[in-house]
Amino acid sequence: MSHTNKVYELYLRREKMNSTLVIVSILTLVFILLIFGASLKPIRFIGKVVARVIIGVTLLFIVNIIGTYFDFHLPINVGTASVSSLLGIPGIFALVIIKLYIMPG
């Protein structure tokens, strides 16, 4: 096995361990909150926020897929994800208009 393959294998192990650690940490936190009787309102609020972010980023992704046919691209970063999450479809339209007319290029 070459040195490059060993390095790549170690990298893959580290990435797998990081994602596993994050998942286990989240599940442990949820379990602890449920055991100690945490109020469900904050958990529902966090769930709604996460759902809105996922929907917003998915909409950005769909715009980028359709935009490839028209040589159009919206970057997916904290700013665009925030706008699309908070404003939904009108936010996506606003980002498209800003990109087309205010920041052409």
Mean pLDDT of 3-14: 57
Res 16: pLDDT: 57
pLDDT digits (tens, 9 = 90+) for 68-96: 898 888 888 888 888 888 888 898 999 99
User: What angle, 0 to 180 degrees and rounded to 10, lies between the N-to-C axes of helices 89-97 and 40-67?
Assistant: 40
Mark 51-71 as b/e (b = at least 16 C-beta within 10 Å). Answer: ebeeebeebbeebeeeeeeee
Q: Where are the domains of the chain?
A: 1-38, 39-105
Q: What is the pLDDT of residue 97?
A: 92
**Count of Cβ atoms closer than 10 Å to residue 85 Cβ:** 20
Per-residue pLDDT tens for 19-61? 677 777 778 887 877 777 666 677 778 888 888 888 888 888 8
Q: Tell me the mean pLDDT in the region 2-24.
A: 62
Phi, psi of 104 (to 5 degrees): -70, 150
